[in-house]
Chain A
Amino acid sequence: MLVTMTREPERVEQAPASLEDLLTAVASGDRAAFAELYDRTAPRVLGLIKRLLIDHSQSEEVAQEVFLEIWQTATRYQPTKGAAVTWMLTMAHRRAVDRVRASQSSRDRDVRIGIRDYEPGFDQVSEAVEVSVEHQRVAKALARLTELQRQAVQLAYYGGLSHSEIAARLSIPIGTVKTRLRDGMIRLRDELGVVP
């Protein structure tokens, strides 16, 4: 499932346009800018979606919806409010979660999540491939969470489970799930140095 690919190309001669610049150009109807934005972000967007949906063709369907939405709503993107990649990945995650919950019966999902549990953990996977800087940073930050926090955050974000599903799965009260998710996010935010 891991594929070698070109990430954002390093250009020596000429500074590449930032993703924010590209998105701003897309907002004015620039289709070439959209193509470049797509080329530079599609593997990441699809990677996130596929992490939740597993199935490749379904993941591509959702990725297509996401990029179409990016094209249509780029006019609404405000560079002052955050990075372009944050805006895009937030949209992709929301849509992937919606698809997970819409398309899977609970039994299918249990099977799917069960399979994921046997996949190697975050750290092992990362060693097998060229590891991105973000990947290393996030893996390090996740390692600073308590086991219980990490489990809850990963089930929510990478599993697409709702807090009540997490509660049922771990046999703990919903209130406890919410607290773990919030505490986990506070620690991740601090470890990752996210500043307002």
Chain B
Amino acid sequence: MSAREDEDYGSWAGAYALDALTPDERNRYEQYLSRSEDARAEAAEFGDTAALLGSATEPVAPSPELRANLLAAIASTPQLPAEDPAPSDETAQRAREDVLAGASTLGGNVIQPAAGSKAARRWSRPVAMLAAAAAVVVLGVGVAGGTGLLNPQSEQQQAISALEDADDLQRVEATATDGTPVSVLWSEELASAAITSDDMPELADDLVYQLWMIRDGETIPAGLMEDGETSAVMDGELHQGDVIGITVEPAGGSEAPTTAPILLQAT
């Protein structure tokens, strides 16, 4: 990252605090924050300032149902573990926290499996376990190289067709953090998984979508989804209970996630 680009990022501070950046820009700005102490200080001040704008809106009385629903929901909703190993840098910490927060939404209503699916039956698995599994950002077991990631479309299509034909196909219509609909398909019989989406937002040239399998506390690189592609078959074998994740990474991919996931899906 050049000093010139960092200089440009300096002007993003207001937009960042006001949530006026796109999710991709937000991630890039947070990477910049990890490199600049001054920028972090400014972000903290602007964050406090933005919250004051928030506290100045007219209060609105919630319905009694909202309170009742919430109190009922928390009675059966596990909390995230408090453990917090020393981060190597702020970005990594943020990424991990966001992974945790993201994994926690698996217990909420944000990413819902189709009713009656096997995934739905597994829903009862404690969120804390998922969170713990997703929490530990371990250096990758083997780097997902360029080969196999740029499968010709036909191979991708064949693999997806095979998945779609699988007797035990699971298909979940999930939503990425920016609202983009993403289908997650997997089959335990084939030990294979794929994602498809017609609407993935276009990324800057130096960025790429990267897929992950999160298993036993490890984040395993599972291939890239280049700009313009509408589907990606995950590299490697899917194991029972894996969590599938997508992050935005520098071109070529990373050994471990460096940004918050835009999607997490339990299988």
A→B interface (CB under 8 Å): 1-3, 5, 7, 27, 29, 31, 34-35, 38-39, 42-44, 46-48, 50-51, 56, 59-60, 63-65, 67-69, 71-76, 81-83, 85-86, 89-90, 92-94, 97-99, 101-103, 125, 129, 132, 134-135, 137-139, 153, 156-158, 160-164, 166, 175, 177-186, 188-189, 192, 194-196
Contacts and interface: CB of A to CB of B under 8 A. Distances in A.
Determine the interface band of chain B, counting residues with CB < 8 A from chain A: 35 or more
B19 A65 contact: no
Given A48-B57, A68-B73, A71-B79, A181 B15 contact: yes
Contacts of A125: 58
Interface on chain B toward A: helix, strand, loop, or mixed SS?
helix
A42 B57 contact: no
Contact of B179 (A56, A74, A102): A102
Given A75-B79, A183-B14, A196-B41, A60 B63 contact: yes
A63 to B, nearest CB: 6
Contacts of B81: 75
B66 interface: yes
Interface of A is mostly: helix
A162 to B, nearest CB: 5
Nearest to B10: A182
B14 A38 contact: no
A47 B60 contact: yes
Contacts of B138: none
Contact of B66 (A48, A63, A89, A99): A63
Contacts of B17: 185
Contacts of A162: 20-22
